[in-house]
Structure 1
Amino acid sequence: MHASQVELARRFADMQGARATWFSYARNTADLLAKVGLVGPHDRLVVCADDFESSFASLFPAHDVVFLSDATPQAFLQASMDDPEGEEARLIPQGSPASYAHPAGIHADRLFWFVGSIGCLGLRVPHLRALAEAASAVNAILIVDNTVPSCFGCSPISLGAHVSLEALDRVAAGRLSRSVVAVSVARSVQGRGRRRLVSPDAEEAYRLLAFGLGDPDDVSGCGALDDQALDAISRGLDSLPARMQRHFDHAHAIAEYLFCHPAVGHVFYPGLKSHPDRALAPNVLLHGFGPAIDFSLQGTHAELMLDRHRRFLEVCACANRRSSAGGALTRLGLAIKRDLSYVRIFAGTDDPLAVVDSLDQALRLFCNPPEP
């Protein structure tokens, strides 16, 4: 059994061009980081994941964590400073990522940057190559949460990330009884001869992960997955391309419908021309624009946005909030950051026309609720 898990992890690593992959039980990617202990109490962790902020705040209460809503290299560099409002912050060079010098003021023992390949409220797509170049300039380890597009829809390692994390619910087609997170690390040496490049940050990431998770070629103890999880992941990887393409295509169709509905306020989907990252997304994402959509609903100031969205979910028959995450059924939920919220859709492989019809009926009930 242990050998089959090793082979499965190697297969997952090869899909991304990674040096190694570990599988571990964890509720989500933030929980995995906390369990492994990759980020120490004296390290600085810069996080751009405002829809995930509460998880990081609860899991890293005594750590030096800085939260961002802007995934640009400049924002990460400034958040990495000890005194971002002081004189040192002015020393951050401006210009292209290739021109970044090492800014003064970084005194944490180690520096980690965390961002989603698709993430934050509004499903932003960061410029991963630019972030990777800026991270290397300041010796930061770039960690990318690749859960939303999955390894089918994005390859953070090939774009320069040092570590890629992915909750495998969607890869396993919703068949996991316990959540599993895959941790992949980049190769520290790439190319040959004069083209040979060495990444000390990738080597440091591998060392830290191996210390926390063990030898990737020797699965034992708490690192071993059960037979059910291994079977679900193996079968999921076999069918991943066909399934994920349907997730992506269905999400695009649903987003186009929502964009045209008069009761819908804002629609955020990287494939729409209205999305702020529409021009960048094809350079980061593969095979489409992901399975997720964020949208808000029109309303009055008398009703809070969060209450409005909760009321919509109560009348939406296709919410499927009790169905398995990553499964065939389209699921609706809430993406929340304090007083801001959106309805978030994860498109399934079910009939998108039936989903749109259900959404249309729910929007009619939401706009014209029946009299008591």
Structure 2
Amino acid sequence: MTDDQYDFESIAVGAGEERPRADTKDVVTPVHLSATFGLDAAGYPEEGYTYTRHGNPTRDRLEDRLADLSNAARVFAASSGMATVSTVCLSLLGPGDRVVAADSLFGGTKQLFDEFLTGFGVEVSYVDATDPENVADALGPSAELVWVESPTNPLLKLCDIEALGELSDEHGATLVVDNTFATPYAQRPLDLGADVSVLSTTKFVNGHTDSVGGAIAVADADLSEQFGFVLRDVMGAPLSPFDSYLVLRGLKTLPARMESHQRNATEVAAFLADHESVAAVNYPGLRSHPDHDLAARQMDNYGGVVTFEIDGDGAETRAFVEELDVFELAMSLGGVESLVEHTASMSAASLSPAERETAGIPDSLVRLSVGLESPDDLIPDLAAALDEV
């Protein structure tokens, strides 16, 4: 079941399920929890299953389905989003190599770049990747890797993936796009020219806040061999069978959930944009967003994350997030429930105050993961908390 035959929604529900099954005729892929598998003869077989770290039927079904949804030659499911970042970097980089990275990155990714890669002699250059010319100027003849997020975390800036793909090809660099916020439903970076797309399945792809994982989608099957070796043999970090089952289940409702996320987020963003206590709102679906036209061209859905700045200081902002009732104060995002965070003290806490200032993350910034509750409950919750502080 590929998108040559079926629409995205049908693939999300059925890809992989049509494979030959056991006599039980399971409609849903079962959880294969066995750590090891019996062999017909001594030796290491060229086909079939031997050990769950190397291959597992449940995880294989998930990887096949994500590959179909991402238009990828190969997908690898990993034990976390950061495991995907580490796998790609360890697979493609060595001492003396250079990375051109967007200056707006997830804190964990930036921490890995600054505190791990540089210790192995990898040079990282940060640029405002929303302007392709900045990337072109930084690439030069020697950069091996270009790393961007689109939309970015937490400011929801967009990069022109098609333009960056052309630049990367011209300079012989590999373009990696973190697609966590968009998901393959809203944006397929490989179709736009990226070589690799990574995401945290913990977020919207699973969508139920009960599984931690990640995925690497690769355009070139030859490139994928190194990723498989590093993820499974070197790091030993493939996704567990039970988490694979949970993500398979979550994928079935991804299209319906993303439509609801977008609908609710649009209403919430519009409310915040008109509120006198809000200094700025970031949401690609708003026409006021500087990258709205690019989002309309590059994405099929604007997502469920809204960030905004309160017209106040850090103490007032922390008081606001603690005052909310329907929105729960918690890390992460992308589940069916609405979450709120004070970004400076939570997901960006690993960054120094100077780094947060450079990244444009003030103490007054709030990140909302808008869930599937009624906007008639979400908006009054925000209004009451804003009035209180």
Using the size of structure 2 for normalisation, the TM-score is: 0.74
Q: CA RMSD in A?
A: 2.5
Aligned to 1:174: 208
Bigger shift: residues 329-338 or 343-352? 329-338
1:174–1:324 CA contact under 8 A, matched in 2 = no
Instruction: Answer yes or no: is 1:69 the counterpart of 2:128.
Output: yes
2:84–2:216 CA contact under 8 A, matched in 1 = no
2:146–2:175 CA contact under 8 A, matched in 1 = yes
Distance 1:335 1:67 in 2: 21
Aligned to 1:334: 342
Please state whether the residue corresponding to 2:253 is helix, strand or coil: helix
Aligned to 1:193: none
User: Closer, same or farther in 2 for the Cα pair 1:364/1:70, shift >3 Å?
Assistant: same
Q: What are the residue-to-residue correspondences of 1:112-261 with 2, within 5 Å? A: 112-169=145-202, 170-177=204-211, 179-187=212-220, 203=222, 205-213=223-231, 222-261=236-275
Distance 1:214 1:222 in 2: 4
Instruction: Answer yes or no: is 1:263 the counterpart of 2:277.
Output: yes
Aligned to 1:98: none
Aligned to 2:27: none
User: Closer, same or farther in 2 for the Cα pair 1:221/1:364, shift >3 Å?
Assistant: closer
Residue identity in the other structure for 2:250: G
- Following superposition, the deviation at residue 324 of structure 1 comes to 6.8
Using the size of structure 1 for normalisation, the TM-score is: 0.77
Match of 1:350 among 362, 373, 381: 373
Q: What are the residue-to-residue correspondences of 1:1-150 with 2, within 5 Å? A: 1=32, 2-28=56-82, 31-33=85-87, 36-53=90-107, 54-55=110-111, 56-62=113-119, 63-81=122-140, 106-107=141-142, 111-150=144-183
- Following superposition, the deviation at residue 158 of structure 1 comes to 0.7
- Following superposition, the deviation at residue 46 of structure 1 comes to 1.4
Distance 1:359 1:312 in 2: 9
Please state whether the residue corresponding to 1:257 is helix, strand or coil: helix
Q: What are the residue-to-residue correspondences of 1:292-311 with 2, within 5 Å? A: 292-299=305-312, 303=313, 306-311=314-319
- Following superposition, the deviation at residue 335 of structure 1 comes to 3.7
Please state whether the residue corresponding to 1:348 is helix, strand or coil: coil
User: Closer, same or farther in 2 for the Cα pair 1:161/1:321, shift >3 Å?
Assistant: same
Residue identity in the other structure for 2:176: I
2:261–2:370 CA contact under 8 A, matched in 1 = yes
Please state whether the residue corresponding to 1:50 is helix, strand or coil: coil
Q: How many residues align?
A: 314
1:172–1:233 CA contact under 8 A, matched in 2 = yes
1:29–1:165 CA contact under 8 A, matched in 2 = no
- Following superposition, the deviation at residue 358 of structure 1 comes to 0.5
- Following superposition, the deviation at residue 144 of structure 1 comes to 0.4
Distance 2:100 2:296 in 1: 25
Aligned to 1:197: none
Residue identity in the other structure for 1:138: H
Distance 1:24 1:51 in 2: 20
1:319–1:333 CA contact under 8 A, matched in 2 = no
- Following superposition, the deviation at residue 221 of structure 1 comes to 9.4
2:58–2:241 CA contact under 8 A, matched in 1 = no
Please state whether the residue corresponding to 1:28 is helix, strand or coil: helix
Residue identity in the other structure for 1:361: A
Please state whether the residue corresponding to 1:312 is helix, strand or coil: helix
Q: Deviations over 1:128-157 (max 9, x none)?
A: 111111110001100000000111111111
Distance 1:40 1:256 in 2: 46
- Following superposition, the deviation at residue 260 of structure 1 comes to 0.7
Distance 2:235 2:276 in 1: 55
2:262–2:304 CA contact under 8 A, matched in 1 = yes
Distance 1:226 1:120 in 2: 26
Please state whether the residue corresponding to 2:259 is helix, strand or coil: helix
Distance 2:367 2:238 in 1: 33
1:117–1:154 CA contact under 8 A, matched in 2 = no
Distance 1:133 1:157 in 2: 12
Q: Deviations over 1:4-49 (max 9, x none)?
A: 3112201110111100000111253675347744332322111115
User: Closer, same or farther in 2 for the Cα pair 1:24/1:255, shift >3 Å?
Assistant: same
Aligned to 2:298: 284
User: Closer, same or farther in 2 for the Cα pair 1:120/1:72, shift >3 Å?
Assistant: farther
2:277–2:311 CA contact under 8 A, matched in 1 = yes
- Following superposition, the deviation at residue 291 of structure 1 comes to 1.1
User: Closer, same or farther in 2 for the Cα pair 1:74/1:29, shift >3 Å?
Assistant: farther
Q: Deviations over 1:263-287 (max 9, x none)?
A: 100011111111101111111111x
Distance 1:130 1:237 in 2: 29
Distance 1:30 1:61 in 2: 18
Residue identity in the other structure for 1:265: A
